[in-house]
Structure 1
Amino acid sequence: MDLSFSAVTGPIERLVATAQNGLEVLRLGGLETGAVPSPFQIVESVPMYKLRRYFPPDSRRGADPSGPPVLMVHPMMMSANMWDVTKADGAVGILHAAGLDPWVIDFGEPDKVEGGMRRTLTDHIVALSDAVDTIKRDTGQDVHLAGYSQGGMWSYQVAAYRSAKDLASLITFGSPVDTLAALPMNIPPNLAAFGADFMAEHVFNHLDIQGWMARIGFQMMDPVKTAKSRLDFLRQLHDREALLPREQQRRFLDSEGWIAWSGPAIAELLKQFIAHNRMMTGGFAINGQLVTLTDITCPILSFVGEVDDIGQPAAVRGIRRAAPNADVYEATLRAGHFGLVVGSKAAQITWPTVAEWVLWLSDRGPKPVNISPMPEHTEGSGDKGVPLAARVLAGIGGAGEVAMAAARTATDAVLAANRSMRTLAVETVRTLPRLTRLGQVNDHTRISLGRILGEQAHGNPDGEFLLFDGRVHTYQAVDRRIDNVVRGLISVGVRQGDRVGVLMETRPSALVAIAALSRLGAVAVLMPPDGDLPQAASLGGVSEILTDPANLDRARALPAQVLVLGGGEHRDLNLPPDADVIDMEQIDPDSVELPGWYRPNPGLAKDRAFVAFSRVGGRLVAKEITNFRWALSAFGTATAAALDSRDTVYCLTPLHHQSGLLVALGGAVVGGARIALSRGLQPDRFVHEVRQYGVTVVTYTWAMLGEVIDDPGFSLHDGNHPVRLFIGSGMPTGLWRRVTDAFAPAQVVEFFSTTDGQAVLANVAGVKIGSKGRPLPGGGDIELAAYDPAKDLILEGDDGFVQVAEPDEVGVLLSRPRGPVDPGAAVKRGVFAPADTWVSSESLFRRDADGDFWMVGSRTAVMRTARGPVFAEPITDAVSLIPAVDLAVTYGVTTPHGELAVTAVTTRPGASITPADLEDAFANLVVGLPPDIVHVVAELPLSSSYRPESAALREAGVPMTSRHGWRLDPETAKYVRLTPAARSKLVADPAGRPEQ
């Protein structure tokens, strides 16, 4: 009877309990648990946030009020109540019980606060920094900053923003740093960056995320676990006692824990930290201040979820490389994203470990057993994204793990095979429009620096463009400043076509001045501050000098109207009353009425845009640069370096130098990248600015980078840096190798451009050290004309047309002209076909079997010795690869017996070279012969562009004898000591008379 009665009443009671509990869930949103929130006091309340102090001193009942303060930070889409979901097992309760002082910042619900949906990421970071100040002031102790997910990202950013001031440590939970290291569903980084950039620019500048949207998005990240949780809840709906322990957590995740998310903040997050990945590279902006995580110096504890698909392990562990100056520890849990901070594992492992960490750093307890130094994530380490298979395994247990692992391996292989194709597609989409536009340029195309900069400002007004002295300026701000300067120039009588000297240090005002003259259609004559200014003014034909306060005195000494620009709003020029100087900063641009003739950016491709100066044989030479020439270099640089808005180009050369104007500034403007201006090459600031600005591309000339990596204080701290590329021309081969070793995995893109810009080569692959690479797409046709170096003749065939040089034969580089041709260019017609036109560069190259070009020298620099023709560049490249060699030059010396080829080298500190080194270096010369003499010199003078110079050595004649001088023995083909007797024989005339 009892059994049968129970069989009848049991299901009925279960059904009734299910109905009662279900009705309560429908009415109240969940089961009533009777839980009471932990007590807290609002210490500070401002429109941006409220600062809670849990268990304030008056309610502690004997607890030590001087416990170390811990400030907890919730992500934007979650309520601050997440830290107190369950009083007994929640974060604040556990930390309080351990003797700590828990604080929580509450950003509230932005959709219910005036202006809340216009909050930016910067607003949150600055607010969090202010909260740290408040806690420090109230407690007198340094703060332990603890952030979950995006709250942890903010914590890192605040620590960098403050340079770790008043912070005892950082504690983060599932907070990604290297956001492109591991993405959900194995999305390729390039595709993710492109998508994030698109969403930031075109979606979230118009759309906010509501709370329900955030909840659904979070649940969709792990649909298996979400479905399983709901099914378990329904199956146990009759058993109230079984549900109550997890009811508050369920209600938090299903409804109560989600808040709205402002579109501007999402857009900034997507752009800075996903599209640009600037947590890793540095150079993210807070209140206009550029910040890098290398400024974090306090200890870091990062909790890593082994099956966390949002804060994936590889992404979270990026902090190890991003913050090389901090001691970084980790604690790993077999948990998903939310399970790191709420739930049974969090109560049992996470929060006790946090308490032990804080007490350990406060010298109040031992080191936690659950933590260890964070390993550095490297490519190929196996620390990759958490795939869907892993999350399914975590949700349903270990059943079938072997089968799932096999499936996962197969899936990863397919994804890896397709990744390179998808990456290539993204790169093609980005570079094709540039090449198409460049291919459409003709003499009458309107194209100029001012025009392209204006296009970038129109398309991306809030995009970051100019970085200088730790500050960032947007395209819109720079473009507005350019327009204001144009109005000022018009007001003082400058017109289209006028030649205006620009005598300025490399500063934002110099860039603005150059761009303003371009927008006006005037010619910017770029005067070197350290050069012969009267001669430059004369050669440039300037009528006005646009200068900065630092160069004002030198400008006033020149016979031209002086205009002063820049130097700040409150500078004092200290001018005498009769000074013929116009202060451009005193002109109100709004009061200037634009004349009828003015049209912005009128410059055609054929028009002169700039005049730059260089020294040739000790003589100052003016080089006129057309808009076409500038565009060709700018588009070529942007294409060769694959520049886009994720890049920051570091301009080490001054803007009056062609490299700064054509490569750094031109490439950055065309590529939509940021440009960081430097105050000249300062080795002690190089690494700091590279990290502070998040530099990805460094421009250089010749041996410039040797000043950096050979500096005694140079250090990268375990190779941590954001640089992916060095681009420039003339880098010595030995220095090239040292740079790529020091900055691995960064590459060098070495390029060559003729003075008229008609021929451009670039070693984009960066594999063959010393090669100039191949012609850039869109840069015009290039060919090598067969050449006889002994007779200095271009060779023709029986049909009268010029012969094409065979692979590894020396040839003269010819280019088919596009755009205006310089009046002094060596134009040749009927070269390879009737009536065709080519321009000779007068430079000698060889082309290897793969189609890569190698510099041989110039026609005028061929050394025609008694042994045969000798070419300088192959020799210099070969000897520079000797590890002991620092710099080298090869030059000709005339003697009574004919011309001698001489190579001078400097050695690295403490190193020396031997004759065997020289013989090995020259053994594989592809063209030409080795030098007659090699000698070590104390130093090689460098030009202003860091090019090793040989003029003084050439004038000195045959080197004097020394322990470090060798001559080539013609009989044995080996290098032997250059003795006094051998030297005397070389310098004596055929009659035996020694040199005078």
Structure 2
Amino acid sequence: MDVNLSAITRPIERLVATAQNGLEVLRLGGLETDSAPSPFQIVESVQMYKLRRYFPPDSRPGQPRPGPPVLMVHPMMMSADMWDVTREHGAVGIVHAAGLDAWVIDFGSPDKVEGGMRRNLADHVVALSQAVETVAQTTGQDVHLAGYSQGGMFCYQTAAYRRSKNIASIVTFGAPVDTLAALPMGIPANFGAAAANFMADHVFNRLAIPSWLARTGFQLMDPLKTAKARIDFLRQLHDREALLPREQQRRFLESEGWIAWSGPAVSELLKQFIAHNRMMTGGFAIGGQLVTLTDITCPVLAFVGEVDDIGQPASVRGIRRAAPNAEVYECTVRTGHFGLVVGSKAAQLSWPTVAEWVLWISGHGDKPSNIAPMIEQPAEYTDTGVTLSNRILHGVGEASEMALAFARSAADAVVAANKSIRTLAVETVRTLPRLARLGQINDHTRISLGRIIAEQAHDAPHGEFLLFDGRVHTYEAVDRRINNVVRGLIEVGVRQGEHVGVLMETRPSALVAIAALSRLGAVAVLLRPDTDLAAAVRIGGVTEIITDPPNLETARQLPGRVLVLGGGESRDLHLPRDAAVVDMEKIDPDAVQLPAWYRPNPGLARDLAFVAFTTVDGELVAKQITNYRWALSAFGTASTAALDHGDTVYCLTPLHHESGLLVSLGGAVVGGSRIALSRGLRPDRFVAEVRQYGVSVVSYTWAMLRDVIDDPGFALHGYHPVRLFIGSGMPTGLWQRVADAFAPARVVEFFATTDGHAVLANVTGAKVGSKGRPLPGAVHIELGAYDAEHDLILENDRGFVQVADVNQAGVLLAEPRGPIDPTASVKRGVFAPADTWICTEYLFRRDDDGDYWLLGRRGSVVRTPRGIVYCEPVTDALGFVNGVDLAVTYPISVRGRQVVISAVTLRPGATITAADLTEAVGRMPVGLGPDIVHVVPEMTLSATYRPTVSALRAAGIPKPGRQVWYFEPSAGQFRRLTSTARSEIVGAH
């Protein structure tokens, strides 16, 4: 019988080989590969990093100059050795072989460096910026940045921070940008953002991630692939030759390639770039400087892993919208996250493409054939991540993937139909406490601006609060500054209850001054530079005036002592030795002894907090604002706009205007949001600041945004972070243009009476021109039926006020809760015996859906021979006419009768017809249209951008012309105004 010895010896040899190799793995952690690392030189070594130059060039004279430099950036949890896992097939080796100059920044292991576990993201970006500077100076060439995963995020952030200076191009591998577009493992965006916020605030502010946990977390992202790799390794443990080519990569992923991750860096990553998604929105802070990816102007090449479930394609492709000023290309690779940079696919495709890209950008080669311009994708995605087919082809089990896909499809269907239950839950959790607190406010409740700022500083001291001139200030810093100013005010003798004028430009010191007066319990009298300041000081009962250096000379002309605060770049005051002028900045707050009477934030809801001014018919009128009135607007704005820590409110209106004080500042403080102050509305600065600050909510007043939208240079390229515009008085035509230009952002129009009891908000923005519905948590309101002909509020048979029917004119009545303004018109026994209501004197109609539409003040009703005309609906209707820019409606008395005239301005190149006017007026459900409509070349706007009619009214009845029309009642339509028709109007009795 023949014996096959190989059949006997082969299993034995295999067993022996397995045992030998296994023992080597157990003893050494892996198989010896006899592979030496690529040579490198440490060019720069500082506490934050070491800068390696691989294959350093021969410095002897006459040697060839190295090619373009490529600086590679690793993510925080991985070792910098990832770029040289295998010498022949690693990144630095391939790059060097292509004739390029390979550099690597090594952040080291933070747990082995003094202070390393306190590093934050900004430290890494600043360090990378310094390394770019070093490479550029050493080589004399601009640098190509190449970053993997979070290292790619560092590349984007550094390029933005440097405004692309010395950066030739950026290459990234699986680097997320729009993190909420597709989170790993299909985590829903709302849940992921909330979880990231919680982890940042309550976990990683105390803990760090050790290297073993970083490795485990990475492996758990794809547990099936990790398990398969380990099983394959064990199955081939007998075949050393088969294992050696992949051994260094295996050892890197299994043990050697992972480093610790500092808690502050993790916390900042979770909060800034996941919860708040600031890579997309902009407004992330690097060393106090606000940065946006729109400042990237160099070319970008993004490698996209088709089956990458960490840097998901939708998230990676966010760079196209986030960096609209850069040429962005992509290269898709059928691999997972790590396979983009290490492994066979990386060696065969990724790094040769990088070499070709660098040579092409440097003008030394052709464009790589496997890259293409990245196509801009919509902001809302139908695909939440890596597709089902790609996952299956990548080896993931069909059953689990189909179950996951089914669950996602079901979730997508819910989201498409309406807001998800999770979203509603998040909004409810955010809103209910505010509404509950608002509902508990009574006369004796301690509530004020200073108090809310102190609460936010206590709860989130390091939370970003104030943005100005490209810098960011935390709640803690602003609160400390407020307390210092309070001490200064006490030192100069200001006490609780005193009226102190504030004459300052919109700047941080103005906000601090207003808040300090609130904390002290004094009354801030907000002085407008465009009014009669002497009259305002007299009416406001001002004893001292806080001013800034630019307004110092103006303030010195007014009665009372002048207190100079802030000024920043212009502190060289050269003040005379005059007791009437005090430089507050020279007072040492630590040297001030607080008196026994001082109690921080003593203001009660009923107390007067602010005095603002407006002009009515040329007369200066003071508006008294109690703490309750401020709180109602602040809490109402924060609730209606769903403001939270991730929002940035852009305050375009001056702080001396009610919109700036009550809506912008109030809403931001209550919502814990950031507030960005502007030096004033400038169209050329608007878009830049929106992106730089990451503005999500823009405040406005009246026609303010017209200067932006209609500016010839206005253009939105790529993504913008704005989701809401909040304010009051926006003309209907402008409203529609703003909504179209910034879609899907919407306009939230507010209406509030002077005393603050009646507050309405058009939250959905669906009905352009509507004032919406009563603000949640505000007082109960009702419409009392109104007889416009006889100027009477109608009563029923029992003597109570009759409730207005649908689309019937009614007087807005508010059931008071909290302090009542002494100037308010109080009515009792209105709808029930002994009840109390405030008559606001505003007329509204209420449509079938319960939405309110303003008809104007009770005294603005115009009674003509044709019938009743309400000016507000006419102006709104004309604003809808295509081509109309602004419109106003006003009456003129002619021989004892009222003639209603509407003036409109047109957009450049636009024309309107009589048919347009007839159709627009015909759609009004209440009241009649005007007698005359005429086009005027321009319209005067007030300081708050409200169109004024005084000059138009003074001009009288318009003269006939091509763009003047009158309404002919017998025909029911507008016709061009002739001399005969005008004579009939003017001469009619």
Q: Please indicate the TM-score interval, normalised by the length of the shorter structure.
A: over 0.9
State the alpha-carbon separation in 1 of the partners of residues 193 and 406 from structure 2.
26
State the alpha-carbon separation in 2 of the partners of residues 467 and 53 from structure 1.
39
Letter of the structure 1 residue corresponding to residue 589 of structure 2: P
Label 1:275 to 1:978 Cα distance change in 2 as closer, same or farther (>3 A).
same
Maintained 8 Å contact 2:771/2:853? yes
| CA-CA distance at 1:658 after TM superposition | 0.5
Maintained 8 Å contact 2:356/2:368? yes
Instruction: Name the structure 1 match of 2:434.
Output: 434
| CA-CA distance at 1:982 after TM superposition | 1.4
Maintained 8 Å contact 1:184/1:387? no
Letter of the structure 2 residue corresponding to residue 492 of structure 1: V
State the alpha-carbon separation in 2 of the partners of residues 850 and 919 from structure 1.
26
Label 1:3 to 1:671 Cα distance change in 2 as closer, same or farther (>3 A).
farther
State the alpha-carbon separation in 1 of the partners of residues 452 and 162 from structure 2.
37
Maintained 8 Å contact 1:313/1:383? no
1:378 aligns with 2:340: no
Instruction: Name the structure 2 match of 1:497.
Output: 497
1:411 aligns with 2:410: no
Q: Deviations over 1:22-68 (max 9, x none)?
A: 11000000111111000000000111100000000139999843200
State the alpha-carbon separation in 2 of the partners of residues 910 and 239 from structure 1.
80
Q: Deviations over 1:80-137 (max 9, x none)?
A: 0000000000000000000000000001111011111011111110000000000011
State the alpha-carbon separation in 1 of the partners of residues 286 and 21 from structure 2.
50
State the alpha-carbon separation in 2 of the partners of residues 16 and 259 from structure 1.
35
Instruction: Name the structure 2 match of 1:749.
Output: 748
Maintained 8 Å contact 1:897/1:986? no
Q: Match of 1:58, SS? A: coil
Instruction: Name the structure 2 match of 1:6.
Output: 6
State the alpha-carbon separation in 2 of the partners of residues 985 and 710 from structure 1.
39
Letter of the structure 2 residue corresponding to residue 556 of structure 1: R
Q: Match of 1:502, SS? A: strand
Maintained 8 Å contact 2:545/2:555? yes
Q: Match of 1:472, SS? A: strand
State the alpha-carbon separation in 1 of the partners of residues 404 and 860 from structure 2.
62
Instruction: Name the structure 2 match of 1:89.
Output: 89
| CA-CA distance at 1:4 after TM superposition | 2.8
1:931 aligns with 2:930: yes
Equivalent runs, 1:667-682 vs 2, <5 Å: 667-682=667-682
Instruction: Name the structure 1 match of 2:128.
Output: 128
State the alpha-carbon separation in 2 of the partners of residues 258 and 406 from structure 1.
33
Instruction: Name the structure 1 match of 2:921.
Output: 922
Letter of the structure 1 residue corresponding to residue 712 of structure 2: P
1:227 aligns with 2:231: no
| CA-CA distance at 1:609 after TM superposition | 0.3
Q: Deviations over 1:830-875 (max 9, x none)?
A: 1111111110111111111111111111111111010110111111
Maintained 8 Å contact 2:885/2:905? yes
Q: Match of 1:325, SS? A: coil
Equivalent runs, 1:834-873 vs 2, <5 Å: 834-873=833-872
Instruction: Name the structure 2 match of 1:888.
Output: 887
Q: Match of 1:927, SS? A: coil
Instruction: Name the structure 2 match of 1:302.
Output: 302
Instruction: Name the structure 2 match of 1:324.
Output: 324
Instruction: Name the structure 1 match of 2:964.
Output: 965
Equivalent runs, 1:119-158 vs 2, <5 Å: 119-158=119-158
Instruction: Name the structure 2 match of 1:775.
Output: 774
Q: Deviations over 1:198-246 (max 9, x none)?
A: 1111110100000000000000000010010011011111111111111
Label 1:926 to 1:63 Cα distance change in 2 as closer, same or farther (>3 A).
farther
Q: Match of 1:812, SS? A: strand
Letter of the structure 2 residue corresponding to residue 855 of structure 1: L
Instruction: Name the structure 2 match of 1:993.
Output: none
Letter of the structure 2 residue corresponding to residue 434 of structure 1: R
Q: Deviations over 1:515-558 (max 9, x none)?
A: 00000000000001222110000000011001101111111111
| CA-CA distance at 1:414 after TM superposition | 1.8
| CA-CA distance at 1:152 after TM superposition | 0.3
| CA-CA distance at 1:195 after TM superposition | 1.2
State the alpha-carbon separation in 1 of the partners of residues 561 and 708 from structure 2.
39
Letter of the structure 1 residue corresponding to residue 459 of structure 2: G
How many equivalent residue pairs?
Answer: 985
State the alpha-carbon separation in 1 of the partners of residues 488 and 812 from structure 2.
45
Instruction: Name the structure 2 match of 1:659.
Output: 659
State the alpha-carbon separation in 2 of the partners of residues 532 and 897 from structure 1.
35
Instruction: Name the structure 2 match of 1:691.
Output: 691
Equivalent runs, 1:197-596 vs 2, <5 Å: 197-379=197-379, 382-386=382-386, 390-395=390-395, 409-417=405-413, 420-568=420-568, 571-578=571-578, 580-596=580-596
State the alpha-carbon separation in 1 of the partners of residues 583 and 154 from structure 2.
44
Tell me the TM-score normalised to structure 2 length.
Answer: 0.98
Letter of the structure 2 residue corresponding to residue 107 of structure 1: F
| CA-CA distance at 1:170 after TM superposition | 0.3
State the alpha-carbon separation in 2 of the partners of residues 934 and 957 from structure 1.
13
Maintained 8 Å contact 2:181/2:381? no
Letter of the structure 1 residue corresponding to residue 855 of structure 2: V
State the alpha-carbon separation in 2 of the partners of residues 278 and 37 from structure 1.
38
Letter of the structure 1 residue corresponding to residue 121 of structure 2: L
Q: Match of 2:394, SS? A: helix
Maintained 8 Å contact 2:560/2:580? no
| CA-CA distance at 1:409 after TM superposition | 4.8
State the alpha-carbon separation in 1 of the partners of residues 171 and 883 from structure 2.
47
Label 1:266 to 1:774 Cα distance change in 2 as closer, same or farther (>3 A).
same
Letter of the structure 2 residue corresponding to residue 853 of structure 1: Y
State the alpha-carbon separation in 2 of the partners of residues 442 and 568 from structure 1.
40
Q: Deviations over 1:354-402 (max 9, x none)?
A: 0000001111111001100001121466453126874354125xx96xx
Letter of the structure 1 residue corresponding to residue 729 of structure 2: G
Q: Match of 1:130, SS? A: helix
Letter of the structure 2 residue corresponding to residue 829 of structure 1: R
State the alpha-carbon separation in 2 of the partners of residues 578 and 694 from structure 1.
45
Equivalent runs, 1:706-745 vs 2, <5 Å: 706-718=706-718, 720-745=719-744
Maintained 8 Å contact 2:382/2:412? no
Maintained 8 Å contact 1:609/1:626? yes
Maintained 8 Å contact 2:388/2:405? no
- 951-960 or 203-212, which moves further after superposition? 951-960
Instruction: Name the structure 2 match of 1:619.
Output: 619
Letter of the structure 2 residue corresponding to residue 411 of structure 1: A
Instruction: Name the structure 2 match of 1:994.
Output: none
Q: Match of 1:913, SS? A: coil
State the alpha-carbon separation in 2 of the partners of residues 755 and 379 from structure 1.
39
State the alpha-carbon separation in 1 of the partners of residues 8 and 842 from structure 2.
102
Label 1:680 to 1:606 Cα distance change in 2 as closer, same or farther (>3 A).
same
Letter of the structure 2 residue corresponding to residue 120 of structure 1: N
| CA-CA distance at 1:895 after TM superposition | 1.4
Letter of the structure 2 residue corresponding to residue 26 of structure 1: L
State the alpha-carbon separation in 1 of the partners of residues 2 and 272 from structure 2.
70
Q: Deviations over 1:576-608 (max 9, x none)?
A: 334621100000000000000001000000000
Letter of the structure 2 residue corresponding to residue 710 of structure 1: D
Letter of the structure 2 residue corresponding to residue 425 of structure 1: A
State the alpha-carbon separation in 1 of the partners of residues 401 and 482 from structure 2.
59
Letter of the structure 1 residue corresponding to residue 682 of structure 2: Q
Q: Match of 2:982, SS? A: helix
Q: Match of 2:58, SS? A: helix
Maintained 8 Å contact 1:467/1:675? yes
| CA-CA distance at 1:962 after TM superposition | 1.6
| CA-CA distance at 1:955 after TM superposition | 2.7
Instruction: Name the structure 2 match of 1:947.
Output: 946
| CA-CA distance at 1:3 after TM superposition | 5.3
Instruction: Name the structure 2 match of 1:766.
Output: 765
State the alpha-carbon separation in 2 of the partners of residues 595 and 162 from structure 1.
49
Label 1:951 to 1:646 Cα distance change in 2 as closer, same or farther (>3 A).
same
Letter of the structure 1 residue corresponding to residue 784 of structure 2: A
Q: Deviations over 1:305-341 (max 9, x none)?
A: 0111110000000000000000000000111000000
Letter of the structure 2 residue corresponding to residue 936 of structure 1: V
State the alpha-carbon separation in 2 of the partners of residues 421 and 379 from structure 1.
21
Equivalent runs, 1:813-852 vs 2, <5 Å: 813-852=812-851
Q: Deviations over 1:918-976 (max 9, x none)?
A: 01111211100111111111111111111111122223222222211111111101111
Q: Deviations over 1:261-287 (max 9, x none)?
A: 000111111111111111101111001
Label 1:598 to 1:569 Cα distance change in 2 as closer, same or farther (>3 A).
farther
